[in-house]
A and B are shown apart, each in its own frame.
Chain A
Amino acid sequence: MDPTVIIRPEIALDDFLPIFLSSSFVLLFGVFYVGIYALVKMGTIRSFYMPAAYLFWVAQTYSMYLLSSLLSNDPFTTKVLILAMFGYLVVPHLYYHLNVRSEKRYEHSVK
């Protein structure tokens, strides 16, 4: 029997580039999201830009979804990954909250 006719879960040649790009974009868009969010909160740029931050989160989540489907993950894995993206939506809020609270608490006690 010719072993080459076996169908297996392989990555198609044309899918390699989209896979590499989408996985990079997951993180790259993530940084834009976090970066713009932090800059707006700190008042460095106007709050007018805040929707852009969330748009980057959407783009990031879409990239993750794309990556997951290109890797032919089962639906459960895809769900877990998308859930993780909601975690990523919340995390910068937590980071920022922590920054503000710790500053309030400690800033006056030094010097």
Chain B
Amino acid sequence: MSNKIVSVWTDNNFWKRSAAWITGFSAILLIWLTFDTLGQITQGTDTDMQKDAKGLYFSKRIPSATVINYKIGYEYSDKRGHEVPTINGKEKFFGRDDYSEEEAAALLHLGKLGSQAKNCMNCHTLLGNGAYYAPDLTKAWLDPKWKLMMAITQKKTREEAMAEFLQHPSKYPTHSRRMPNLDITAAEAKGLVAFLKHMSAIDTNGFPRNFGKKDITLRERSAK
């Protein structure tokens, strides 16, 4: 084996060291970004929420579970250049709008557990991730379809219609592809609805775009 150095570019050790440095540098950058991101996606508190309720926008990307006490919207923001969740005053959730931080967190906890225990993610997508067999649930709470489902399930409110649907999904088919019965109890259904309502208030950088607004692109283009 010749020990004469021919060129650094064909030197095994040069590339070995480069690989180690590049990997190390990328990993450190990722860890640093992770700290920053985790800070930004920590759940807000009820105090934040009460302050936010005076305006229109959420100050936290992931609001407190007490968001179930409020009416949530999804509106275009000129500043951000896409849609963001909005807070529009109080709204009753299963007849109450005074859930404490602990009560709301307990509901969210039950709902999140339920979403995993019932394996939602292997038919639906949540925040766009999962399987592609059933609709995306990111903004499911805001879906205009619940108006019709309230009539079909004979319930007075959106949350009750959702809870009823979740408990007996195959009784209310909307398409030949039905949701199967997953033995969801009334308590679990309430938790799941809280989980879905909370998810609709997460700031997803405008995903999904134009939620619930039909043919917007077509109309816009003919207007131009």
Contacts and interface: CB of A to CB of B under 8 A. Distances in A.
Are A and B in direct contact (Cβ within 8 Å)? yes
Interface of A: 3-13, 97-98, 101-102, 104-106, 109
A4 B9 contact: no
B176 interface: no
A101 B9 CA distance: 8
B10 interface: yes
Contacts of A9: 81
Interface stretch (B85-93, B132-140, B162-170, B212-220): B212-220
Contact of B213 (A3, A101, A106): A3
Interface of B: 1-2, 6-7, 9-10, 75-76, 81, 209, 213, 216-221, 223-224
Nearest to A6: B76
Contacts of A10: 209, 216-217, 220
Nearest to B5: A105
Contact of B6 (A4, A6, A104): A104
Given A4-B213, A101-B6, A109-B2, 16 more contacts: A4-B216, A4-B220, A7-B220, A8-B220, A9-B81, A10-B209, A10-B216, A10-B217, A11-B217, A12-B221, A13-B218, A13-B221, A104-B10, A105-B7, A106-B10, A109-B1
B6 A105 contact: yes
B7 A101 contact: yes
A9 B209 CA distance: 12
B76 A98 contact: no
Contacts of A97: 9
A5 B223 contact: yes
B4 to A, nearest CB: 9
20 contacts: A3-B213, A4-B220, A5-B220, A6-B76, A7-B223, A7-B224, A8-B220, A9-B81, A11-B217, A13-B218, A13-B221, A97-B9, A101-B6, A101-B9, A101-B10, A104-B10, A105-B6, A105-B7, A105-B10, A106-B10
Which of B1, B10, B76, B81 gathers most chain A CB within 10 Å?
B10
Given A13-B217, A109-B1, A8 B81 contact: yes
Contacts of A13: 217-218, 221
B223 to A, nearest CB: 7
A39 B216 CA distance: 50
Given A6-B76, A109-B1, A98 B217 contact: no
B67 to A, nearest CB: 22
A104 B219 CA distance: 64
A102 B213 CA distance: 59
A13 B7 CA distance: 53
Given A8-B76, A109-B1, A102 B220 contact: no
Q: Which 3 A-B pairs have the closest CB atoms?
A: A102-B10, A101-B10, A105-B6
A98 B10 CA distance: 6
